[in-house]
Structure 1
Amino acid sequence: MNAMQPTVCIVDDDDSVRRALARMLGAHRYHTSIFDSARHFLDEVDLDGAPACAVIDLQMPEMDGIALQQTLSQRIPIVILTGHADVTNAVQAMQAGAVDFLEKPVQDQLLLRAVERACERATEQFARKTELRLLKQKVERLTPREREVLAWIVSGLRNKQVASELGTVEKTIKVHRAHVMQKLEVDSLPALVRIADKMGMGLVARA
């Protein structure tokens, strides 16, 4: 089993449903974890440690599926199951980003398709989060001055122009630029721009 395969978390207060879903998904080579309540799920699962998605029952005591979805705030992909179809809940769940909203007893193929989509999203989300975490670590290596230089460079200014903006000489900017590229482990301006864009580092506006 691939260590990076997403875990499918099954959250349902009905033990027989949890086990049936786990057996069915396990038979199709999905890795599953089961939880008897939303609180148990929130207390036990590391949402940032590995890719995961969740199949959540809508009607649960204390915290229902919609409330859990709102608490998770799209941190992982969700499929919602319900024993009582409700258009309002379905619309609310889908607008909040649910992969699907399915009625129990759910057909295996419908659930499998939904879980497949959820796992694909989970893999993509985890890859993006991992990339951003690594980029953040690299950016944190920069000194405050190097961050200033980076902001001006990705704004499209040449070294001489950056030097003028920062009140220094071009040679100093070249040194800072070299350090920035070394610490961020890139070798081109487009690569610097991509990092700045992914990290939400806004361009500097010239006065």
Structure 2
Amino acid sequence: MDEWPRPDGRATLCWEARMPAEPIVHIVDDDRSLRDAVQSLLESVGLRARAYASSAEFIDARAWSGPGCLLLDVRLPGVSGLEFQGRMEGLGVHLPVIFMTGHGDIPMSVRGMKAGAVDFLTKPFRDQDLLDAVDLALDRDRTRRASDADVEDLRTRFAMLSPREQEVMRLVAAGRMDKQVAGELGISEVTVKIHRGAAMRKMAARTLPDLVRMADLLGASGTNT
């Protein structure tokens, strides 16, 4: 990664490195003519697009960690689109899915929607329907990534708390009163208030409900609060 020297001797990232990654629309369909047509359409409106003939080819490309979405054919050679959707979480693929389907595959596509797909497009679909679905999927991906970044920031702040501050935050978030926290931890109520205040300050929680909300988010993300 390129860096520019700073006057104080420390390095700072160059402008290009700080730019957010441009989203990529991944197209997985075994019909080459459809892949090419969809890719051309997306690129004509300024979107980046990559095309793959199968889910295995998509996985081999290892290009799914950045922002974007996945246009996925329901019927694919080998692993079907629906089967692949079910495996994505285990593979670490978190891109929003838009299914592309023939008329006879609509019941399967509905199952895909229930499993979290953004939309399904029945072939042949209108260009604008595709672009609208992609816009919705990219917006959903941006929202998820912003939420993930917020939780990661909370994890970093929580790790900066002392073990006692973490205990107090956990108990306060569970609804314990200061007297109950003091009794459970064997400390005075004044000490509880001091640790609670320190936790709020380090977590940048303006109010006690803010602190509880942060604890809930950390708990939902798997952090032991």
| TM category, shorter | 0.7 to 0.9
Q: Which moved more, 1:131-140 or 1:181-190?
A: 181-190
- Out of 196, 204, 217, the position equivalent to 1:198 is 217
CA distance in 2, matches of 1:43, 1:200: 34
- Deviates further, 3-12 or 59-68: 3-12
* Match of residue 12, structure 1, among 29, 34, 38: 29
Task: Give the aligned residue type for 2:120.
Answer: F
Deviates more, 1:91-100 or 1:4-13: 4-13
- For 1:26, the equivalent position in structure 2 comes to 43
Once the two structures are superposed, the pairs formed by residues 29-178 of structure 1 within 5 Å of their partners are: 29-45=46-62, 47=64, 49-73=65-89, 75-83=94-102, 85-178=104-197
Q: Deviations over 1:131-184 (max 9, x none)?
A: 122222222333432221002222444544422231112333233223322332
For these two proteins, the number of residue pairs brought into alignment is: 199
TM-score by length of 2: 0.77
> Cα RMSD (Å) of the superposition?
2.4
Change (3 A) 1:177 1:46: farther
In structure 2, how many angstroms separate the alpha carbons of the residues matched to 1:46 and 1:168?
52
Bigger drift between 122-131 and 5-14 goes to: 5-14
Greater relative contact order (CA < 8 Å, ≥ 6 in sequence): 1
User: What's the CA shift for 1:102?
Assistant: 1.7
Instruction: Classify the secondary structure of the residue corresponding to 2:82.
Output: helix
**Cα offset, 1:46, TM superposition:** 5.3
8 Å contact kept, 1:6–1:123: no
Q: Displaced runs of 4+ in structure 1, greater than 4 A? A: none
- Alignment gaps of 5+ in structure 2: 1-18, 221-225
Where in structure 1 are there 5+ consecutive unaligned residues?
Answer: 202-207
Structure 2 CA distance for partners of 1:148 and 1:37, relative to 1, 3 Å: same
TM-score by length of 1: 0.83
Rounded Cα–Cα distance in structure 1 between residues aligned with 2:24 and 2:145 = 12
Deviation at 1:80, TM superposition (A): 0.9
SS in 2 for 1:75: coil
